């Protein structure tokens, strides 16, 4: 029953994330079409790095700890007090981000030189201008993300997920209008407006749940102090995790022009399967894990984590293999038009190849980290991230010489996989039985076998269709679509033949959800 509820929430979030990610992909396509993989795009991405990094550090940490603290107050039937804590947190965050924004605008030249030491003078000057334009998005993105946390704590997932679609839609509109009129600076203004819209769209639902803006700044309130006590190690952890991006941007600025843009476009493709399902599943499961952890129901947490991790492996391994096999036609289909030429396609496809290696680790780490947070253990993931950032830097320096931007992507992938291993080992101390080697090796061998058969089918279908379809976008879409369809069919059939338990479980849940949907439709018809 509980998994049916998880998947109902997951399905809702996944559908809205699908809309958001398709619009996000559309945003990248529009940017690639108008600006290509050039120093202009590199400057935009460097300028976006600073406020985005600070936004991730502050607001994502707050949004994460708000859920367990709010849930704890609700469990004691102190809902009004929970909202007082929320109002305090929102006001304190607003003041902090406004102050950081003012400092960031003043320090823009220094920040750009720090992140992109390899830029020449025109690229540096452009990045400084764009940084000053986009720094205010830190305030709006921070509030939007904390609103997201408040709503998720009340088991409202639809509107927060939809806010991402609104953000991307506004950025696309800004790129096509302001970008056409004012170039890359117009795109920068559109990016800020997109985050403003993402925050505003959540306000009606937030108001209905009970949140009210109050002019209070009581940082000594026990709930507020607990939020910031839990937030501190998460803030450090997220800051450390964001060093992956900084390392890539700094080192990529030393490589050929367009390397930063190619890594960005490649990473966007890799994030697509993670965002569509894994992030949705983790978001839906997190409030329940938090409640069970607070009630001491560790067996339920263990069972849910084991099931969720197997589902993540079942879905992300074939996605990674499929991206490896079809990387060039997929990149060509999505991006190769306008200013995005064959050289940019080759660079981006090369990044996708190496990013795919770590896809399963990247996906699993989201859920594993949230399991620690459910137990209000925010320190262990931080300690493990320190190890991985150092590893990522060492690997990046070792691999960027022979593999160029591919080396940076591979370093990120290997570091993500090492982080997965460490998270599992430390989490098993709290949840004994999470890692059962024989069971996991048996399951993993089945998934790899099915994925290998899928790779052969997708490659063969792609090769056959390449000689049949006409050149152009429509023909390329048929080629990619046909190869993906063949791969998914073979993978599903192989999983069923190998009797992988999770594929049958997913079919059962889908049937239950479908039956419930039909029953509701029938009642409405009556």
pLDDT of residue 132: 94
Domain-wise residue ranges, the chain? 39-257
Measured at the CA of 347, the angle between CA 345 and CA 351, to 5 degrees, comes to: 115
User: What is the separation, in whole angstroms, between the first and last Cα of the chain?
Assistant: 27
The shares of helix, strand and coil residues in the chain, as percent rounded to the nearest 5, are 85, 0, 15
pLDDT of residue 519: 44
Sign of CA dihedral 258, 473, 475, 451: positive
Q: Rounded distance, CA 110 to CA 367, Å?
A: 36
Q: Rounded distance, CA 143 to CA 141, Å?
A: 6
- pTM beyond 0.85: the answer is no
pLDDT tens, the chain, 526 aa long: 444 454 455 555 556 666 666 777 788 888 888 888 778 888 898 898 878 877 777 666 766 676 667 777 776 777 777 777 777 877 887 888 899 899 999 999 999 988 888 888 888 999 999 999 999 988 888 888 778 777 877 767 677 777 888 888 899 998 889 888 888 899 999 999 998 998 888 888 888 877 777 777 777 777 777 777 777 777 776 777 677 777 788 888 888 888 888 898 898 888 877 766 666 566 666 667 777 777 778 888 888 888 888 888 988 999 999 999 999 999 998 888 877 888 989 999 999 999 999 999 988 998 888 888 778 787 888 888 888 888 999 999 999 989 999 999 999 999 999 999 999 999 998 888 888 888 889 999 999 999 999 999 999 999 999 888 777 788 889 999 999 999 999 999 999 898 887 776 666 655 554 444 334 433 434 4
CA distances from 289 to 149, 281, 411 (A): 15, 12, 32
Q: Angle formed by the axes of helices 79-106 and 61-75, to 10°?
A: 170
Task: List Cβ neighbours of 445 (8 Å cut-off, separation of 6 or more).
Answer: none
Q: Rounded distance, CA 287 to CA 34, Å?
A: 41
Task: List Cβ neighbours of 224 (8 Å cut-off, separation of 6 or more).
Answer: 85, 88, 89, 92, 218
pLDDT of residue 91: 84
Closest alpha carbon to 161 in 22, 50, 38, 53:
22
Q: What is the DSSP string of 149-192?
A: HHHHHTT--HHHHHHHHHHHHHHHHHHHTHHHHHTHHHHHHHHH
Closest alpha carbon to 157 in 50, 8, 358, 365:
8
pLDDT of residue 383: 85
Task: List Cβ neighbours of 35 (8 Å cut-off, separation of 6 or more).
Answer: 41, 44, 184, 187, 339
Helices (H) and strands (E) in the chain, counts: 22, 0
Whose structure tokens read 């024989």?
438
| DSSP structure class, residue 276 | I
Task: List Cβ neighbours of 512 (8 Å cut-off, separation of 6 or more).
Answer: 4
């Amino acid at each position: 029953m509980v998994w049916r509820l998880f998947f109902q929430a997951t399905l809702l979030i996944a559908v809205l994330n699908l809309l958001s990610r398709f619009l996000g992909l559309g945003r990248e396509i529009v940017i690639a079409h108008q600006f290509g993989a050039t120093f202009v795009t590199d400057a935009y991405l460097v300028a976006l790095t600073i406020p985005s990094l600070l936004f991730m550090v502050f607001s994502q940490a707050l949004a994460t700890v708000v859920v367990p603290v709010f849930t704890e107050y609700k469990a004691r039937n102190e809902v009004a007090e929970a909202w007082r804590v929320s109002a305090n947190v929102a006001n304190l965050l607003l003041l902090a981000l406004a102050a950081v924004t003012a400092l960031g605008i003043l320090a823009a030249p220094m920040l750009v030189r720090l992140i992109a030491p390899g830029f020449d003078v025109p690229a540096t000057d452009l990045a400084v201008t764009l940084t000053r334009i986009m720094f205010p998005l830190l305030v709006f993105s921070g509030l939007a993300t904390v609103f997201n946390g408040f709503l998720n704590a009340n088991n409202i997932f639809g509107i927060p997920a939809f806010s991402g679609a609104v953000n991307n839609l506004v950025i696309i509109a800004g790129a096509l209008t302001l970008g056409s009129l004012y170039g890359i600076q117009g795109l920068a203004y559109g990016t800020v407006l997109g985050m403003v819209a993402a925050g505003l769209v959540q306000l009606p639902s937030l108001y209905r749940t009970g949140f009210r803006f109050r002019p209070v700044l009581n940082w000594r309130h026990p709930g507020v102090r607990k939020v910031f006590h839990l937030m501190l190690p998460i803030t450090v952890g997220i800051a450390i995790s964001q060093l992956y991006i900084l390392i890539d941007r700094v080192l990529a600025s030393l490589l050929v022009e367009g390397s930063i843009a190619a890594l960005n476009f490649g990473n966007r493709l890799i994030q697509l399967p993670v965002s569509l399902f894994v992030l949705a599943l983790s978001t839906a499961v997190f409030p329940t894990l938090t409640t069970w952890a607070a009630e001491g129901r560790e067996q339920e947490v263990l069972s849910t984590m084991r099931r969720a991790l197997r589902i993540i492996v079942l879905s992300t391994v074939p996605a990674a293999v499929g991206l490896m096999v079809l990387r060039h036609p997929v990149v060509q289909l999505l991006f190769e038009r306008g200013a995005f030429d064959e050289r940019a396609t080759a660079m981006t496809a090369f990044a996708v190849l190496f990013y795919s290696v770590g896809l399963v680790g990247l996906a699993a780490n989201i859920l594993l980290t949230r399991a620690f947070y459910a137990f209000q253990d925010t320190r262990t993931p931080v300690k493990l991230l320190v190890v991985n950032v150092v590893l990522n830097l060492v690997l990046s320096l070792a691999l960027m010489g022979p593999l160029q931007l591919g080396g940076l992507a591979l370093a990120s992938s290997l570091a993500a996989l090492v982080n997965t291993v460490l998270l599992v080992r430390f989490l098993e101390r709290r949840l004994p039985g999470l890692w059962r080697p024989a069971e996991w090796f048996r399951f993993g061998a089945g998934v790899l076998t099915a994925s290998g058969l899928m790779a052969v089918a997708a490659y063969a279908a792609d090769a056959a269709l390449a000689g049949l379809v006409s050149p152009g976008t429509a023909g390329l879409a048929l080629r990619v679509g046909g190869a993906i369809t063949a791969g998914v069919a073979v993978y599903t059939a192989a999983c069923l033949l190998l009797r992988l338990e999770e594929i049958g479980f997913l079919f059962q849940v889908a049937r239950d959800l479908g039956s419930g949907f039909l029953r509701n439709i029938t009642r409405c018809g009556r």
